[in-house]
Structure 1
Amino acid sequence: MKFDPSELETKNVYKLLSGSVVPRPIAWVSSISEEGIRNLAPFSFFTVASRQPPMLCISIGPGVGARSGTIKDTLENIRSQKEFVINIASTPLGNEVQKSSENFAEEMDEFEEAGLTPIPSEKVKPMRIKEAPIQMECKLHQIIQLGSDHLIIGEMNLYHIQEDYYNGNYKVNFEKLRPLGRLAASYSESKDFFSLPNDAIK
């Protein structure tokens, strides 16, 4: 079978992409508005963009559902404040991740709605999630509009990891982390780890 994206509705192209590019890690992004309102939302179009300087990127699409066609609060906040935090969620935090993905009014605080604890960052204004095992403070490097979406590239200025999740020698304990990911519309847990001979994939 084959599909020509120019002949498909956007939602159907999205289904093919999100069901094929898997598993996808989740960037649990905390930001803050000009008025000081805390915002929290998960994004699975997320990866490392550069090693030196360390940069991360997330892709943010337009609002959906009741907010279809609108600009998401996360994008607005990063545009105006030029700072954000990428928190990494473990599987036990899945319910909180899902809650923070709901369409809340812009004046609502998703930390409160999801029952999470905001803690101060050191180099940026947006709060970190205390419960998240890993938090990365980022400053905006660039926003690139790509079709209907916006690619946000941020430089990581400070990395936080809870001691129980650190193996030493700058390595993360994946068995402890139990990273939460996305498989199309479903969630996934990475828990089986193995190596391949002459592994050159980076």
Structure 2
Amino acid sequence: MHLNPSTLSESELYKLMSGAVSPRPIAWVSTVSKKGLFNLAPFSFFTVASSKPPMLCISIGSGEGDRNGIPKDTLTNIRDTYEFVVNFVPYNLIQEMEKSSKNYDPCIDEFIVAGVNKLKSTIVNPPGVKESPIQFECKLENIIPLGKDHLVIGKVVHICVQNESYQNGKLDLIKLQPVGRLAGNYTHIQNIFTL
């Protein structure tokens, strides 16, 4: 089967690409607005952009649908403050992460909605998720408009990792059980193998 992207609807393209590019890790991003309002939201268009200097990148959608074209709070907050935290999502926090994924009014604190606690960051202003085993504190490096989306690139300026998850310079991924996105579904690491 050969498909011409120009003949597919946006929905068809999204479903095909998000299903084929999987599993995708999830960045659980915490930010603070100019007014000091807290925001927490997950993004699965996420990966490492560079290891030296350390950078992470997140693609943030345009805010269509029930947002009526208003940019997502995460993007607005990063544009305004130049800071954010990427929190690791383990399997035991999947329900909390899902609760924070809905479209809420900017005055709603998703930390409270999700039932998670704030962890004071070391360098940046936005707090991390205390229950998450890893927090990457980031300073904005660049925002690149790509079609209707925005590629946000952040330089990692501090990392907080739970002691029991990080031994001899390596993460225990079986213990951490990272969650990934499979189109509209989720998965988590249960088996690791080498070739």
TM-score, normalised with respect to structure 1? 0.94
The C-alpha deviation readout for 1:98-146, integer Å capped at 9, x for no partner, is 0000111111000001000001101000011000010000000000000
Determine whether 1:32 maps to 2:36.
no
Q: Give, in whole Å, the separation in 1 of the partners of 2:110 and 2:127.
A: 12
Q: Give, in whole Å, the separation in 1 of the partners of 2:120 and 2:5.
A: 44
Taking the TM superposition and a 5 Å limit, the aligned residue runs for 1:178-197 are 178-196=177-195
Q: Give, in whole Å, the separation in 2 of the partners of 1:2 and 1:107.
A: 46
Q: Give, in whole Å, the separation in 2 of the partners of 1:37 and 1:163.
A: 30
Q: Give, in whole Å, the separation in 2 of the partners of 1:35 and 1:7.
A: 44
The C-alpha deviation readout for 1:8-58, integer Å capped at 9, x for no partner, is 211110000000000000000000100000000000000000111000000
Q: Give SS of 1:18's match.
A: helix
Report what 1:172 is aligned to.
Answer: 171
Q: Give, in whole Å, the separation in 1 of the partners of 2:121 and 2:192.
A: 32
Using the TM superposition, give the Cα deviation of residue 66 of structure 1 relative to its aligned residue in structure 2, in angstroms.
Answer: 1.8
* AA in 2 matched with 1:136: F
Determine whether 1:14 maps to 2:6.
no
**Structure 2: any 5+ residue segments left out of the alignment?**
none
Report what 1:76 is aligned to.
Answer: 76
**How many equivalent pairs are there?**
195
Report what 1:200 is aligned to.
Answer: none
Using the TM superposition, give the Cα deviation of residue 70 of structure 1 relative to its aligned residue in structure 2, in angstroms.
Answer: 2.2
Q: Give, in whole Å, the separation in 2 of the partners of 1:90 and 1:173.
A: 12
Q: Percent identity?
A: 52
Q: Give, in whole Å, the separation in 2 of the partners of 1:70 and 1:190.
A: 35
Using the TM superposition, give the Cα deviation of residue 68 of structure 1 relative to its aligned residue in structure 2, in angstroms.
Answer: 4.3
TM-score, normalised with respect to structure 2? 0.98
Q: Give SS of 2:34's match.
A: coil
* AA in 1 matched with 2:141: H
The C-alpha deviation readout for 1:85-105, integer Å capped at 9, x for no partner, is 000010010000100001111
Q: Give SS of 1:182's match.
A: strand
Report what 1:142 is aligned to.
Answer: 142
The C-alpha deviation readout for 1:62-84, integer Å capped at 9, x for no partner, is 22442143210000000000000
Q: Give, in whole Å, the separation in 2 of the partners of 1:109 and 1:31.
A: 10
Taking the TM superposition and a 5 Å limit, the aligned residue runs for 1:87-102 are 87-102=87-102
Moved more, 42-51 or 60-69: 60-69
Q: Give SS of 2:69's match.
A: coil
Report what 2:155 is aligned to.
Answer: 155
**Structure 1: any 5+ residue segments left out of the alignment?**
197-202
Q: Runs of 4 or more off by more than 2 Å in structure 1?
A: none
Q: Give, in whole Å, the separation in 1 of the partners of 2:177 and 2:18.
A: 21
* AA in 2 matched with 1:145: P
